[in-house]
């Protein structure tokens, strides 16, 4: 099992903590144990496929979209970005934007951006703790100020910034926009609801998102829980949202606190092919994710 030092980033709208990253130049480093100091590329063959962040938005993020794998490979030589959000906390009135509520075409989209009206074409959601949004590549979106959330995404840092409220960056200069680059990667379809619905269940894993890039579940625990690893491919990641817990695999044991993640290789070295999660507080909440 591996925990990592967080990679902290200060941005014009707030802060990010990258708790698990294989992004070149921003690789996670093991924080404790016999492998402390090693990069994730030293312990995982190839590039780690997921980037996991905690995002604290003090102000509205730019309106943006991400290309899919095909376009990103062609234009940038990297993966695209499909992602998901789990809202951990939200101040009163906090909201986000996800998906089109008005039917646009590429030409009308450009007119809306240049006229400063693109916000009017997007679906707006007031958010609360526990809300989930799945964001496939091509879906226009923006996190609003006052949202604190966990984000799971493909290992990619490619963002097409569509609109940024005419504000300067940290250097005092306007941030670059990618209006034209975004035009042909946007999914212009209109859906009735862009939220992800699910039923809460205590002491059982609840499925949130399953796509070709990652599978994510929610655990709300009040007692010890044993999570099998036979469906996880090469790894399972546990992401702590609320409450401290102890994670055990065979003779290994570590503590996990909110804002941290642990990478568990799903191999023969893990005793009985399972991980045991022992909550040390009544309300312990984690995300599980794997590919």
What does the pLDDT read at residue 30?
Answer: 98
Q: Give the tens place of pLDDT for each residue, 114-148.
A: 998 999 999 999 999 999 999 999 999 999 999 99
Query: In this model, does residue 188 exceed pLDDT 60?
Result: yes
Backbone torsions φ then ψ of 182, nearest 5 degrees: -75, -25
What does the pLDDT read at residue 282?
Answer: 79
CA angle 137, 60, 200 (to 5 degrees): 65
Please give the Cα distance from 291 to 282 (Å, whole number). 29
Number of domains in the chain: 2
196 within domain boundaries: no
Q: Which two tokens stand for residue 201?
A: 């269940």
Q: Give the tens place of pLDDT for each residue, 16-57.
A: 999 999 999 999 999 999 999 999 999 999 999 999 999 999
44 within domain boundaries: yes
Same domain flag for 125 and 255: no
> Domain residues for 266?
205-290
Same domain flag for 165 and 43: yes
85 within domain boundaries: yes
Same domain flag for 136 and 10: yes
66 within domain boundaries: yes
Same domain flag for 164 and 46: yes
pTM: 0.95
**Average pLDDT, integer, range 212-221:** 98
18 within domain boundaries: yes
Instruction: Name the β-bridge partners of 270.
Output: none
Please give the Cα distance from 241 to 88 (Å, whole number). 7
Last residue of a domain, one of 151, 183, 215: 183
Same domain flag for 53 and 90: yes
The three-state secondary structure class of 172 is coil
What does the pLDDT read at residue 250?
Answer: 81
Q: Between the CA of residue 14 and those of 56, 168, 250, what are the distances in Å?
A: 6, 14, 40
Query: In this model, does residue 217 exceed pLDDT 60?
Result: yes
Please give the Cα distance from 275 to 282 (Å, whole number). 19
What does the pLDDT read at residue 271?
Answer: 53
**Average pLDDT, integer, range 219-236:** 94
What does the pLDDT read at residue 212?
Answer: 96
190 within domain boundaries: no
Burial of 77 from C-beta contacts in 10 A (0-12 / 13-18 / 19+): exposed
200 within domain boundaries: no
Residues carrying an active site annotation: 161
What does the pLDDT read at residue 36?
Answer: 97
CATH number of the domain at 259, please: 2.60.120.10
Please give the Cα distance from 228 to 86 (Å, whole number). 23
Same domain flag for 139 and 15: yes
What does the pLDDT read at residue 166?
Answer: 82
Same domain flag for 68 and 129: yes
pLDDT band (50, 70, 90) for residue 78:
very high
Same domain flag for 64 and 126: yes
Same domain flag for 166 and 35: yes
Same domain flag for 29 and 79: yes
Same domain flag for 173 and 218: no
278 within domain boundaries: yes
Same domain flag for 157 and 50: yes
Q: Please choose, from the candidates 29, 38, 33, 32, the residue with its C-alpha nearest in 3D space to the C-alpha of residue 8.
A: 29
């Amino acid at each position: 099992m591996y925990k990592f030092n967080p990679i902290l980033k200060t941005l014009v709208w707030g802060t990010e903590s990258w708790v698990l990253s294989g992004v070149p130049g921003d690789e996670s480093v093991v924080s404790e144990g016999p492998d402390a100091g090693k990069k994730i590329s030293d312990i995982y063959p190839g590039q780690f496929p997921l980037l996991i962040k905690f995002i604290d938005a003090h102000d509205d993020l730019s309106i943006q979209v991400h290309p899919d794998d095909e376009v990103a490979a062609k234009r940038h030589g990297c993966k695209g970005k499909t992602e998901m959000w789990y809202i951990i906390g939200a101040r009163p009135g906090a909201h986000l934007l996800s998906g089109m509520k008005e039917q646009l075409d590429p030409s009308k989209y450009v007119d809306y951006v240049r006229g400063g009206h693109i916000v009017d074409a997007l679906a707006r959601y007031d958010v609360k703790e526990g809300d989930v949004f799945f964001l496939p590549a091509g879906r226009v979106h923006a996190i609003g100020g006052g949202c604190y959330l966990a984000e799971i995404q493909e290992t990619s840092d490619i963002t097409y910034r569509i609109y940024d409220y005419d504000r300067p960056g940290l250097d005092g200069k306007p941030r670059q926009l990618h209006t034209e680059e975004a035009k042909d990667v946007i999914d212009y379809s209109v859906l009735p609801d862009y939220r992800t619905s699910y039923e809460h269940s205590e002491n059982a894993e609840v499925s949130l998102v399953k796509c070709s890039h990652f599978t994510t579940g929610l655990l709300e625990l009040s007692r010890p829980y044993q999570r099998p690893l036979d469906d996880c491919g090469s790894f399972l990641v546990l992401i702590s949202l609320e409450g401290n817990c102890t994670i055990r695999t065979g003779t290994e044991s570590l503590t996990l606190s909110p804002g941290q993640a642990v990478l568990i290789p799903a191999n023969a070295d893990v005793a009985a092919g399972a991980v045991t999660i022992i909550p040390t507080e009544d309300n312990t909440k984690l995300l599980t994710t794997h590919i």
